[in-house]
Chains A and B, each alone.
Chain A
């Protein structure tokens, strides 16, 4: 099955700086890669996703890049704000759409 690894496990940045979280996956058949944000005590919520036929996707301060050859994808947050502080999870979904495989999470702390 698929294996998703996520790094770093914790990330501390100064407000206004950029943050990058990286994930690697093992199954070349995976074709959908979502990123979820989970605030303390809350449910995970989708913030951005990318499909395997796209190399990059951007939504305001958030972007995701995908390198299919190297089998890794990254979340980029620019101009970080304290409200970006949360745990971020990456995930991969094989093309036959059954199991979602999640990374272990990155705790992002944005210092004011």
Chain B
């Protein structure tokens, strides 16, 4: 089954404790992205990756890091989480190769993060 998976789905942590949220897709998509969703603000892009070893900042990258060492994985790293990073996080992937619809994004199930 074609899917995007995220882990963990729920996480409660304390300020300053480094954490990683994993994202994996099995559709061989080139494009992957991380969003955060906050009430009234919609989905805001944190980082995106056009392919392996190619990453770039979205609109709200401060406090986050990403890496793309393999095509299928795109982990989100919070080196020193703060309470303002409490949010719902979504990973997404999209194909951009020739011959396919290059634009549809497939979202993961979401990770609800609480930083106290």
Contact = CB atoms under 8 A, between A and B. Distances in A.
Contacts of B43: 44, 89, 91, 100, 102
A100 B104 contact: no
A112 B45 CA distance: 35
A45 B4 CA distance: 12
A49 B103 contact: yes
A98 B42 contact: no
B27 interface: no
A46 B105 contact: yes
B103 to A, nearest CB: 5
Instruction: Categorize the interface residue count of chain A.
Output: 20 to 34
Contacts of A9: 40
A97 B107 contact: no
Contacts of A98: 48, 50, 56
B65 interface: no
A43 B108 contact: yes
Interface string B91-116: 00000100000111101111000000
Interface of A: 1, 6, 9, 32, 34, 42-46, 49, 89, 91, 93, 97-105
Given A97-B103, A99-B58, A100-B105, 4 more contacts: A89-B42, A93-B103, A98-B50, A101-B59
